[in-house]
Amino acid sequence: MIGDYNEKDKEMMVVSAKARSKSRLQELIEFAKISGFKKLGIANCKSVQPYADKLLEKLAAAGFEVVSVNCRDSGLDACMICDDMKGPCCDPLSQAAYLNAQETDMNINVGLCLGHGLLFQKYSKALVTTFLVKDFAYKHNMAAALEE
């Protein structure tokens, strides 16, 4: 089955080809620059905040305007999601709303839980890519689980 690519999709495929064969960080920076993106958003899990902060620093050093929001910034109480839950709760919809309001050109998922990342991507107006997949069992190295 061959995909039915429109012109915009074809452009993205060409940009991707130009940015590949580098580290994920280098690829991200190159892709964003070739695409003409100026403002990048980071949506991260609070538990990987140091990684999000470092990514923000590196992207800013590469010349981008970067805005960041962690999953607990909204102050959502878990009991608003489910009566059985209590305390601070992750809020991927608020993360998407915040970055949408900031009018980011592209958003970056840094360690959001699987379901939270799916919701964030669903509600983000900008393209979303994943930079870090949170996996504490394998120190965020997803491929290690496949080597067992």
- 66-75 pLDDT, tens digit per residue, is 999 998 777 6
Amino acid at 109: N
Say if residue 46's pLDDT is above 80.
yes
Encoded tokens for 124? 């983000």
- Contact of 49 with 73, CB cutoff 8 Å: no
The whole-angstrom separation of Cα 97 and Cα 16 is: 27
Higher pLDDT, 31 or 76: 31
Tens digit of each residue's pLDDT (9 = 90 or more) over 7-25 = 998 898 898 888 877 899 9
Say if residue 62's pLDDT is above 80.
yes
The pLDDT of residue 71 is: 84
Tens digit of each residue's pLDDT (9 = 90 or more) over 76-119 = 666 666 667 666 668 899 999 999 999 999 999 999 999 999 99
Relative to beta strand 106-110, strand 65-70 is unpaired
From the number of C-beta atoms within 10 Å of its C-beta (0-12, 13-18, 19+), residue 145 rates as exposed
- Contact of 125 with 107, CB cutoff 8 Å: no
Q: Which residue in the block uniquely carries the two structure tokens 């609070």? A: 46
- Contact of 29 with 59, CB cutoff 8 Å: yes
For 37-77, the DSSP string reads --EEEEEE-GGGHHHHHHHHHHHHHTT-EEEEEETTTT--B
DSSP for residue 112: -
> SS3 for 111?
coil
pTM above 0.75, yes or no: yes
CB atoms within 10 A of CB 66: 20
